[in-house]
Structure formats: structure tokens, C-alpha cells
């Protein structure tokens, strides 16, 4: 993992020759579908050496926004206050495809 880009919500991983999403997800004990979603990929997409993947941390919940989501629906999904979501996410645009995080203590 590459600590240069790490943050409280995810690690980063630089793809190497021969890697695929399934192998990487098993190596880090992460659901393959979640790994693909967090990186804007489909499960069967080809990944290229040198690209950087986000690897989710275990104590963090993730949600990819969909059309029609509101701050209220997100707070209900995560079961926290709207302020807590705002505090943990620098910017919430509520546009389709935005990744929202929640780190659990």
C-alpha cells in the first residue's frame, strides 16, 4: 500500500503487472464489488499497471450517491446526524456517483 496518498477513509494501492480486482480484493479482504465501485470501475474492467486504487479501511462505511439522494437520506442510510456526515466529508454535492464516507470510532 502506498502511504503517500493514505487518508482516514482508505489506503491506496498501485496496480502491478498481473493484478486483477479479484486478487486485490482477496489480498485486502474487501468485497470485489465494493472495490470496483469505490474506484469507478465495473467488476470485469481491465486495470492497468501504475494506476492507483482506493482500498477501503475496515472501520469506514461507504456510499455512492444516486440521483435523488438528499442529506437527510444519507444521514438515514448511515444512521448519523447530517452534521456528522458534513464534518467527515469535506464537500457533499449530492451528484450522482459521489463517494460519501463515514468513519466509525
Are 46 and 73 found together in one domain? no
Q: Tell me: do 8 and 51 sit in the same domain.
A: yes
Residues 65 and 98 in one domain: yes
Query: What tens digit of pLDDT does each residue of 34-73 get?
Result: 999 999 999 999 999 999 999 999 889 999 999 999 999 9
Enumerate the β-bridge partners of residue 63.
100
Q: Which domain holds residue 85?
A: 60-103
Count of domains observed in the chain: 2
Same domain, 8 and 52: yes
69 and 84 belong to one structural domain:
yes
Beta-bridge mates of residue 11: 55
Pair 76, 65: CB distance under 8 Å: no
pTM: 0.76
| Claim to verify: residue 9 and residue 29 sit in the same structural domain | yes
Residues 34 and 75 in one domain: no
> Where residue 12 sits, what CATH number does that domain have?
3.10.350.10
Amino acid at each position: 500500500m502506498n502511504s503517500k496518498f493514505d487518508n482516514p477513509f482508505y489506503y491506496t494501492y498501485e496496480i502491478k503487472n498481473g493484478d486483477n480486482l479479484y486478487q486485490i480484493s482477496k489480498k485486502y479482504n474487501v468485497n470485489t464489488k465494493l472495490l470496483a465501485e469505490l474506484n469507478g470501475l465495473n467488476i470485469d474492467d481491465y486495470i492497468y499497471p501504475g494506476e492507483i486504487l482506493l482500498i477501503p479501511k475496515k472501520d469506514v462505511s461507504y456510499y455512492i450517491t444516486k440521483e435523488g439522494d438528499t442529506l437527510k437520506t444519507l444521514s438515514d442510510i448511515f444512521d448519523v446526524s447530517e452534521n456528522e456526515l458534513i464534518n467527515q466529508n469535506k464537500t457533499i454535492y449530492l451528484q450522482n456517483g459521489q463517494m460519501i464516507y463515514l468513519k466509525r470510532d
